[in-house]
A = this chain, B = another copy of it.
Amino acid sequence: MRADAKRNYDRIVEVAREVFREQGYDASLDEVAKRAGVGPGTLYRHFPKRENLLDAIMQSWVDRVTEASEKALAYEGADRELLLRWFEEYVALISLHKGGPAKITSAMGDPTSPILTKCQVLTSANDRVIERLREDGVLRDGVDTVQVCRLVGGIATVADQGDLGAAAVRPLLEIVADGLLR
């Protein structure tokens, strides 16, 4: 990659992160290009689809994810509380941008999604928490990771779309947690 290309690439990602946080995932890409001081052509060459840009933005995000799951697993307390803490982290992680919960949760079931690999990091982080509970023998029978992601992702999605705060989300997570534990 040529030096000027890399400069533009980095700058676009940086600006896009800012713009998406401000305006959500459907912000204008020409706007991103303009703010980054490049032509739309340049942006679309580096990132042919909107998703490719999102993918690039998420590089730093994957680190956070693993970190969060490790933090949750390190918790020395009741299983229910461990699960709830993880759920809250999970919701926070996918809600960093407006529209994130819907985007990420639906990408999980779509093998062609460009952000699939990023989502898999999340699913496997979730899996570690779920496995731990299964080993403790406190998990409902027949539950799999994907189902948990869908349930929590669903809550995060409605919270995102309805501008609900953590206080409104917590009881919903508790209901799901209690449904998952035996």
Contacts and interface: CB of A to CB of B under 8 A. Distances in A.
Interface in A123-181: 140, 142-143, 147, 150-151, 153-159, 161-164, 171-172, 174-180
A26 B74 CA distance: 45
Interface residues of A, number: 32
A105 B171 CA distance: 17
Nearest to A182: B178
Interface string A96-131: 000000100110111000000000000000000000
Contact of A109 (B106, B157, B163, B177): B163
Given A154-B155, A158-B105, A175 B176 contact: yes
21 contacts: A102-B102, A105-B161, A106-B158, A106-B161, A106-B162, A108-B162, A109-B162, A140-B175, A143-B171, A150-B155, A150-B158, A150-B162, A151-B154, A151-B175, A151-B176, A154-B154, A154-B172, A174-B179, A177-B179, A178-B178, A179-B179
